[in-house]
Every structure is written in C-alpha cells, then in structure tokens.
Structure 1
Amino acid sequence: MRTRFAPSPTGPLHLGHAYSAILAHDMARAAGGAFLLRMEDTDLERSKPEWAALIVEDLTWLGLTWDGPVHRQSDHIESYNARLETLADRGLLYPCACTRGDIRAALAAPQEGVAHAVYPGTCRARPMADRQPGDALRLNLGRALALLDPATLTFTETGPADAGTHRVDPATARTTIGDIVLGRKGEGIVAYFLASAFDDADQGITHVIRGEDLFDFTPIQVILQHLFGLPTPIYHHHRLIRDEAGKRLAKRDDARAIAKYRAEGASPADIRRMVGLL
C-alpha cells in the first residue's frame, strides 16, 4: 500500500484534515506500506509558504511521519503542462475564452454542496490554432470518450458508503461532467484533478484515501487516467468531520484549526479522540 495526504496550503488544517491525514497514515502503516505528503499548491495565488510550513508543523505534532521529501506541485507545473499538451496533439483540447471567474472555479477542487456546472460548449468549435493568451484549455469529452473502451472505465471503492466496483458510464459523464477545464498555460495553472492524477501515478499511489465529498468527482480522474495510460488506484472515501449543524468543516473554520487546539494545550491523543480515531 502506498497512500498520501495531499492538502492545499491555502489555510490552516482543521479537524477534518486531521482525520483524513491520520486515517491514511494509520492505514498505510498497519499494512506495512508507505505514506507520502504532497502539497497541492497549483493555485499560485492562494497557496502560501507559511501555510505549507504550518501544515508540516501540525502533522509532525500529530505524530505522523511520511516517506521521502514533501512533493510540491508548484515545482512541477511545466511537466504537467507538457503532458497536457499531448492531448492537444490528439485533437482532444480546445481553447476557451469564457469568464475567468468561471474558469478559475472549475480548476479548483470540488466542494460539498456546490454543483458541478456542466459547460454548454460555447467555445467547442474553436481550433487550437485560434488559441489566445489567457485562454483556458478544455477537454472535448465526447471525442475523448470515443477513444476509450467503456468496459475498462471502472474503479474500486472500499469506503463505508459506496464499497464495490463502479463503472463510469459515458452517457452519464457527458451530461454530468462535460468539457472540463484542464488548465490555463499562460498563468501556469493546472486543474487540481489533472495534477493529482499525474502525481498519483508518478508516486506509485495504490490507495487514495480522502473525504466522501470527492466521490462523485472520481469518474473525472478515471477518464483522465485512461486517456494518459495511467493506472487507477483503489479509492477509499471516508466520512466527513462536521460541525454541530452537520456542515462539513472548511478552512474558514479557524475555531477548529489544529494550531488553535495545540495553543490551548490539547494533545495529539485529544485530536484523535475528537475525530473518533482513538
């Protein structure tokens, strides 16, 4: 087993992050496997080195150890973009000049309760030769799916809510995923899910352990994995840590930040107890 914890250094770790990190770490160690730490900092505007440093400090305080150096996605942007361009050579990308706010939102990791807006195809007829500075690159999903064998588009889930083998249905993908944004080269931005798929393959990740809010997003990565000839890991989507109102914790929930608990005298065992892992 090789798994990873892959936070974005855009704010402090909270109890939900602690649960995910501890669970992935403990599962890997129990199996005699490896646990890796990755900083998913492709959002160059919001990612800050001080947040990355605090993440390392919090995880160390929790007693977690990782194998090898911390992998920082911002150090590999050119590599991601070079591989992305191979899709253009296969006629699977097109430039998109739609609003920057919509495109930036599409590049970010999905959030619970926020529906994925399926792109209507406004720029689909534009050739790559018409690409302008600042244009985003979208995947022509219809063309991409036509190149793949639907019978192979499957993934294994071991999480408590959806355990079993799941098939990515091409017809459903066209109506629920659509032509996703994969990057904006001029700004050095690569989509979260694309960089993650590359890194999981490059780092030999066998098990992806993450929150259940990302389950519906898995078919996107499975399609990309097959387009690039990458292996599909086993997925384990765990329960979320929620507040008193039942809402998923977010980075704005500073009251539940690990650093705050540390400052107030909590112990790592206290954190494990709070998230139900002791």
Structure 2
Amino acid sequence: MPAAGYRGRFAPSPTGDLHLGSLLAAVASYLEARCRGGEWLVRIEDLDPPRTVPGAEGRILGVLAAHGFEWDGPVWRQSERQAVYETAFGQLREAGLIYPCACSRKEVASIARAGVDGPVYPGTCRHGLLAGRMSRAWRLHVDAGCVAFDDAVQGVCKQDLATDVGDFVIKRADGLFAYQLAVVVDDALQGVTDVVRGADLLDSTPRQCHLQQCLGIVPVRYAHVPVLANEHGEKLSKQTLASPLQPEHAALNLWLALCYLGQCPPATLAQGTVADCWQWARAHWSLDRVPRQRSVVWQSDVGMDMRCDLTNDRD
C-alpha cells in the first residue's frame, strides 16, 4: 500500500475507443488519487472475449498517455486472472452461498418483474434444479435487507438486493465469470481503497458490497461521478456512437472534462497544453464541486468558446 493509504484505479473495457464520457471517470479518479498523495492503477477489464475489439486496448493506453495520465505499476488484464476468480468462486461454493441455475435470460424475463438493473430473479432454482433441468449459470444468494453505503458524490445510497435485484449471476452460462465477482476480487488483490467511476455503475455497487462481505474483503470507498448523456437522457457510449477521443485535442478534452465535473477551469486552458491543464487541475481539484447527480447533458456544439456555466446543485 502507498504511504498515504490511498490507491485508486481506472478500469476500461476494450470494447471500443475511449470517448469524452470515459474521460470524465478517468480524470476524476486520477485527480482524486494524486491529490490525496496516492497511487493510480490501470486495469483492462477484458472479461468478455466476444465483446473485445482487436486493437482497442492499445488505443486506450495510447490515448491515456497522450492525455498525460501516468499510472503506477503494470497494467492488469482480467483475461489473465481466471484462476483467482475460480478460487473466489470455490470459496463461495464451499460456504454454501451460491447455487446452480438452469434458467435462461428469456425465461427469467418472461416471469420476473423489473428491477434496478434488469429483471429481478424470482428464485426459481434457489432450492434445487427442477427435474430434467441442467445447470447453466451460478447465482449468489441474497437476503432481504438494506445494503447501504455513503458515496462521496451521490450521498447515502440504499438498495434491498432481494427486492431490487434478486440472486445474481457470478458465473455465466458460457463459463465466464461475471463482472461483479471479477471486479471485487481484483480491487481486493490490487489493494484498491477508493473507486471513483461513472454513476452508471451506481446500482451495481450494492452487489459488490455484498460480495465483499461474503468473501471477507475489506470494503472500499466509492465516489460515482455523473456520466455524460445526450438530450434524450442516453449515456454517451460506444453504442450511442460517441466520438473517440483525438489525442491532438487532448488539452481541450481535459478542459471539457473538468467543466463537466464542475471544476470551472479558466477558458484559456482549453487552448493551453496538457501540462497546463494538469497543473491547474491538481491545484484546484475538489470532489465536493462535482455535480451531485447521475448525469450531465453533453452539448454537441461545445468547443473552444465554451464557458464553464454548469450549475452545481447539491441540495
């Protein structure tokens, strides 16, 4: 662990190129780590080979470097860590906390009600597989009761996993380990103390808190910054054709990210250098100024003449 006891991370998936929405999470996590005298790691979350785009990892790391990010230690890749996930899976199985499930997604969707992140699993296989059914996935038991955590940006967050999610998958029908398990195991083994990431993952956090408890892992601290969304409320992403970051516009990109994060950098920085942006940002960064909301609206015509007029409603 670093002397200051703080270790953050940025964990992109190589399913495409980084865009401005990705940059918000990277900038926030990087600045929070550096301003606390801590370390900042990069982890490639390539857990799902069918979704991995050839060459994306190299472009992601290249774009981060072009924008002035400096990470500590080697880059970890989830595709190289199946053995440690298998160990955690075995620990949960030995404790009787997981069970095989024969239900397909289509079957669950046809009988389940909507939850915070898809259908709420109704517990069909919780007490054993029905006659003639074969196991497809493995699910983790969740009990009724509130899981709560104090998010450094979004405030106190609460969720009843049994009501809002149901027993959730930790090993998929295709044999791959689920994101929820992998991210908890990797954060623990990398000594991550603080996770600063986009608010699109806020609803996943109670599941990760529950898994930390099941595995005897010390909880991490969370801060979920707003994601960029279009005028229809859709998160900017590869699926919504968000434009890849251009290294030649790195200073402008950093300035825009700081604006959307509520930091109100001077307009002159948009035409400065990457070093100028980071120097100003490290001197003025405040997580308290990040808008306490799940999303901020991306403005397609924002450019060099943009002024930081984002409101910071923390009521």
**How does the TM-score come out when normalised to structure 1?**
0.80
Is this contact kept in 1: 2:116–2:203, CA < 8 A?
no
2:307: which partner in 1? none
2:163: which partner in 1? 175
Which of these residues, 205, 208, 213, is aligned with residue 221 of structure 1? 208
Which of these residues, 165, 173, 188, is aligned with residue 201 of structure 1? 188
2:254: which partner in 1? 272
2:219: which partner in 1? 232
2:127: which partner in 1? 125
Q: Is the counterpart of residue 157 in structure 1 residue 146 in structure 2?
A: no
2:142: which partner in 1? 141
Deviation at 1:5, TM superposition (A): 0.5
Secondary structure of the residue that 2:86 maps to in structure 1?
Answer: helix
Which of these residues, 57, 64, 71, is aligned with residue 69 of structure 2? 64
In 1, Cα distance between equivalents of 2:208 and 2:42:
20
Deviation at 1:82, TM superposition (A): 2.1
**Residue identity in the other structure for 1:41:** D
**Residue identity in the other structure for 2:255:** R
Q: May I ask how many residue pairs the two structures share in their alignment?
A: 247
What CA deviation, in whole Å up to 9, does each residue of 1:84-129 have, x standing for no partner? 12212222221112226789xxxxxxxxx974211112222226xx
Query: Identity of aligned pairs, percent?
Result: 39
- Structure 1: segments with no counterpart, 5+ residues: 104-112
Q: Is the counterpart of residue 90 in structure 1 residue 95 in structure 2?
A: yes
**Residue identity in the other structure for 2:127:** A
Shift of the 173–187 alpha-carbon distance from structure 1 to 2, 3 Å rule, reads closer
1:53: which partner in 2? 58
What CA deviation, in whole Å up to 9, does each residue of 1:194-239 have, x standing for no partner? 1101111111111100111222221111110000000111100101
Shift of the 33–95 alpha-carbon distance from structure 1 to 2, 3 Å rule, reads same
**Residue identity in the other structure for 1:27:** E
Shift of the 19–167 alpha-carbon distance from structure 1 to 2, 3 Å rule, reads closer
Is this contact kept in 1: 2:116–2:165, CA < 8 A?
no
State how 1:19-58 maps to structure 2 within 5 Å.
19-58=24-63
1:106: which partner in 2? none
Is this contact kept in 2: 1:154–1:167, CA < 8 A?
yes
* Structure of higher CA gyration radius: 2
Determine which structure has greater relative contact order: mean sequence separation of CA pairs < 8 Å that are 6+ residues apart, divided by chain length: 1
- Structure 2: segments with no counterpart, 5+ residues: 1-5, 109-114, 266-315
Q: Is the counterpart of residue 189 in structure 1 residue 176 in structure 2?
A: yes
**Residue identity in the other structure for 1:190:** F
In 1, Cα distance between equivalents of 2:182 and 2:37:
27
2:313: which partner in 1? none
Is this contact kept in 2: 1:5–1:38, CA < 8 A?
yes
Alignment RMSD, CA only? 2.6
Deviation at 1:154, TM superposition (A): 4.4
In 2, Cα distance between equivalents of 1:174 and 1:240:
27
Is this contact kept in 1: 2:117–2:165, CA < 8 A?
no
Is this contact kept in 2: 1:8–1:41, CA < 8 A?
yes
Higher helix share: 1
